[in-house]
Amino acid sequence: MTIKHNVPRFVPILYFAYGSNLHQEQMKNRCPDSQPVARATAHDFSLTFRGNYRGNGVADIQPTKGRRVEGALYKVSWDDLIALDRYEGYPFLYQRQLISVSTKEGPVNAFVYRMNKGFHYQAPSNSYFDIIRQGYRDWAMAETPLLSARDRLSQPHHAAK
């Protein structure tokens, strides 16, 4: 079941991607109507990996004062949004939320998927990480924040949590 969040079907929908959906070819396959719009930044969030997808973490953003997450905006159709809901495991794994992100033209509101509480921090698989890394390259974004997010979870003190 998909909850529609009262978005009229005729209104262009902006989606903020920060994980594997940065990979433009993958996004086009999942959401055929999607159109890349621009790079964007979510302020007061940090990138991490959580969950337990086959024993590996998947991308998530969490509120963190003073930090930021680089990502990208896509314009998506209503059918694309429903497809994203299914792919992201909405509403069981992720919740869809409307947040403000910054672009070169100024702030805009966009939908984003944030993981539900109760999922532990977990490093991603190499293959999943490589998909995200290609997405960073597709959007010409610096990879350092992505590498840092993964490396933080590879430290011994995170393995016990």
Sign of the dihedral defined by the CA atoms of residues 64, 65, 70, 74, in that order: positive
Q: Is the pLDDT of residue 161 over 60?
A: no
pLDDT at position 2 is 43
Q: Structural domains in the chain?
A: 13-151 (3.10.490.10)
Residue 113, annotated ligand binder?
Answer: no
pLDDT at position 52 is 73
Of 25, 70, 88, 105, the active-site residue reads: 88
What would the pLDDT profile of 86-129 be if each residue is shown by its tens digit?
Answer: 999 999 999 999 999 999 999 999 999 999 999 999 999 999 99
Q: Is the pLDDT of residue 62 over 80?
A: yes
Q: Which of 112, 134, 120, 18 is nearest to 68 (CA)?
A: 18
Average pLDDT over residues 124-142: 98
Structure tokens at 80: 């694309």
| Residue 3 pLDDT level (bands cut at 50, 70, 90) | very low
Q: Is the pLDDT of residue 66 over 80?
A: yes
Residue 136, annotated ligand binder?
Answer: no
Residue 15, annotated ligand binder?
Answer: yes
Residue 49, annotated ligand binder?
Answer: no
Residue 17, annotated ligand binder?
Answer: yes
pLDDT at position 54 is 80
Query: Could you tell me what percentage of the chain is helix, strand and coil, using 3-state DSSP and rounding each to the nearest 5?
Result: 30, 40, 30
Q: Count Cα atoms within 13 angstroms, Cβ side, for 18.
A: 28
Q: What's at 27, amino acid-wise?
A: M
Active site includes 25?
A: no
Is residue 118 left, alpha or beta, with left meaning phi > 0 and alpha meaning psi from -120 to 50? left
Alpha helices for 19-143 (secondary structure H): 24-30, 78-87, 126-138
Average pLDDT over residues 30-55: 94
Rounded-to-integer distance, Cα 47 and Cα 11, Å: 29
